[in-house]
A and B are shown apart, each in its own frame.
Chain A
Amino acid sequence: MSDTPNIVTGDTEAPTIEPPPDHGSGESQAPEQRRTLHELWLSGTEEPDWVRGATDEGAQELLPERAEPALATQRGTLVSDDYEVDDEIDDDERQIINMGPQHPSTHGVLRLQIELEGETVRRVKPIIGYLHTGMEKTGETLTWMQGPTNVTRMDYLSPFFNELAYSLAVEELLDVAIPPRAQAIRILMTELNRISSHLLFLATFGMDIGAVSMMIYGWRERELLLQFFEKTTGLRMNHNYIRPGGVAADLPDGWEDDVEDLMVKVPQGVSEYVELLNENPIFIDRTQGIGVITPEECMAYGVTGPTLRAAGVDWDLRKIEPYSGIEQYDFDVPVRKHGDVYDRYLLRLEEIDQSFRIVDQVLQTMPAGDYRSDDRKVTPPPRKRIDESMEALIHHFKIFTEGFKVPAGETYQAVESPRGELGVYIVSDGGAKPWRLHVRAPSFAHVQALPVLMTDSLVADTIASLASIDPVLGDVDR
């Protein structure tokens, strides 16, 4: 220290460095403190001992033994979960907080009553009904033909699937044959809808996890699909396009080019998400091993769709109970095994690819022919005939005012919607309106299963769990 030869000491004068008058009182000052005020080290000379440890924190470099874990943390390869459950906390320390009904991550108006113990979620109670508008009751007041306008608004992110399930159920009771072109159009639209729904999932899921730019990316690609929907059906959402007997209109001129365009642009965007998220250490930390559900729990709670397949059950209604001729297209059902948030995310990415495979095949093999059934019972006469024939005019008028009658009976038809099994249970009394219309909404079952995903996890993970099941509250509340 003071005997180090290279240190310039008092004789060269350091007048600018004076101890402040109130800084300690004379003798009690530690010798080190005095030294730092009066001793200087000239750069370029040999480093004195006291330079190391000169600051409170110690030397400002990583010591070799500490460097490895620190770098691992930076790279995201080190898992450091320092949270420990304190079992000593008694009931008085529990608190109940409400998440929602206006929380932005609830994707609508869902309220979660969460009982917390410290930061651990002990109990969850989903409270729903904020979007309930009595659509099943409304369905009983609409004719069979008007029905799709109602059901399309339930799961507003996959409207084509609602219309399809409803139409299939009505056609089952009517026993109407659907021409091949109408079936192919239905598959084309529903699979594109699956892609747009999954894109919205990726957007909102990314945002909920903290990858805010995903919100913009996901909507960007979804917009392309919505433009095609608008061109085809006239509306971006709530299309009322798939109807009992076929579809509302034929595909627009040049639809092949539009779909080919989609098949280039959307996967390009999706590859950007993969680059952004799949290997991202923060994303992986927040999703792997979070919100796990087992196949048995899925069965007991009626959980279906991507959540079920991510848990390792190879179950897709498109393969098991093929509808609308989807069995003639070649595609795979992605299945993963961990049942956590990350697997659900990956699975939906893979489903986008598979849906494009189906779309590509539909594009190559689109049959010619009529886009709706020629059964005059459910299909209004062509516009041309109305000008020529009084009977056709009357027929047209009666179909759109009174509607057609459906034989008495009951049926349940299910389709594989982007969220899971979407079923429609219809009871007909032989009249022009359904006696009872019940929609088995996948999101309803999934919201019910939320406590399974969330109990005993951290409160920070509730958002990831909730977003990963992709609930649509319009579907839950109906």
Chain B
Amino acid sequence: MTDEANPSSDETPQEASPDTAPAATVDLGAEVIEISADEYLDVVARARAAGFESFVDLCGVDYLRRRPRYEVVVNLLSYESKQRIRIRVGVEGGDPRLASITSIFPGANFYERETYDLFGIVFEGHPDLTRILLPDDWDGHPLRKDYAVGSVPVQFKGAHQAS
């Protein structure tokens, strides 16, 4: 990773942030930033305005015994300053919901669908939030830590259990 602080990176938060933005304290020059679900959309929009124009990755993590239980991790990249930024957003368990960033990065579409499919995190405002990797009638969200490995009913005739 490019740990070297880019000279322009220190300026980026200031020049991009509106004065009254609630997330103005977030330092976009850092490699990893942890934010709450409320400021998520705003921070992503500001990151994009600050030059992180390339969408790289979005995935979920289930921390199970932690609050908030889930985390959505967004990786963005700036071709201009050759920097990466990793935005980690906590998402409460129970009925996990988070705003969709497809309006900012259309490339997040498939990634949010994947995260919905495997973690059950609902992205509000997503144009087509359906399962993507698993069949539409699949039960549960396999990458959750309380989803057991193995011993799932399989769909073939005569077989009841996959070991």
Contacts and interface: CB of A to CB of B under 8 A. Distances in A.
Interface residues of B, number: 33
B55 A412 contact: no
Interface string B106-146: 11011100100010000000000001111100000011000
A464 B44 CA distance: 35
A132 B1 CA distance: 29
Contacts of B61: 410, 427, 435-436, 438
Contacts of B105: 300, 302
Interface in A421-475: 421, 423, 425, 427, 435-436, 438, 440, 444-445, 447-449
Contacts of B53: 299-300
B69 interface: no
A172 to B, nearest CB: 8
B55 A299 contact: yes
Contact of B79 (A313, A438, A444): A313
A302 B134 contact: no
Contact of A421 (B56, B63, B111): B56
A141 interface: yes
A392 to B, nearest CB: 33
Nearest to B131: A129
Contact of A449 (B62, B107, B131): B107
A320 B57 contact: no
B25 interface: no
Contact of A300 (B79, B107, B131): B107
Contacts of B132: 128-129
Given A137-B142, A137-B143, A440-B75, A302 B133 contact: no
Instruction: Count chain B CB atoms within 10 A of each CB in A299, A313, A477 and give the residue with the most.
Output: A299
A301 B2 contact: no
A132 B105 CA distance: 25
Interface in B22-64: 53-57, 59, 61-63
Contact-residue bracket for chain A: 35 or more
B107 A445 contact: yes
Nearest to B117: A129
Nearest to A477: B133
A26 interface: no
A132 B106 contact: no
A299 B134 contact: no
Given A129-B132, A141-B149, A412 B1 contact: yes
Interface in A133-171: 134, 136-138, 141
Contacts of B118: 136
Contact of A302 (B57, B59, B82, B135): B57
A438 B57 CA distance: 10
A447 B118 CA distance: 19
B133 A132 contact: yes
B97 interface: no
Given A321-B1, A425-B73, A129 B134 contact: yes
A425 B1 CA distance: 12
A438 to B, nearest CB: 4
A448 B149 contact: no
Contacts of B86: 412
B57 A425 contact: yes
Contacts of B54: 298-300, 302
A413 interface: yes
Interface string A286-327: 000000000000111111000000000101000011000000
Nearest to A301: B107
Given A423-B56, A436-B61, A440-B56, A128 B133 contact: yes
Given A128-B132, A132-B133, A440 B109 contact: no
Instruction: Count chain B CB atoms within 10 A of each CB in A300, A313, A320, A427 and give the residue with the most.
Output: A300
Contacts of B79: 299, 313, 315
Interface string B67-103: 0000001010001001010100000000000000000
25 contacts: A128-B132, A128-B133, A129-B133, A129-B135, A132-B134, A134-B142, A299-B79, A300-B106, A301-B107, A320-B82, A321-B1, A321-B2, A412-B75, A413-B1, A423-B56, A423-B75, A425-B59, A425-B75, A435-B63, A436-B143, A438-B57, A438-B61, A445-B110, A477-B133, A478-B133
Given A129-B133, A320-B2, A410-B61, 10 more contacts: A128-B132, A129-B131, A129-B134, A300-B54, A300-B106, A302-B55, A302-B56, A414-B56, A423-B57, A436-B61
Interface of A: 128-129, 132, 134, 136-138, 141, 298-303, 313, 315, 320-321, 410, 412-414, 421, 423, 425, 427, 435-436, 438, 440, 444-445, 447-449, 477-478
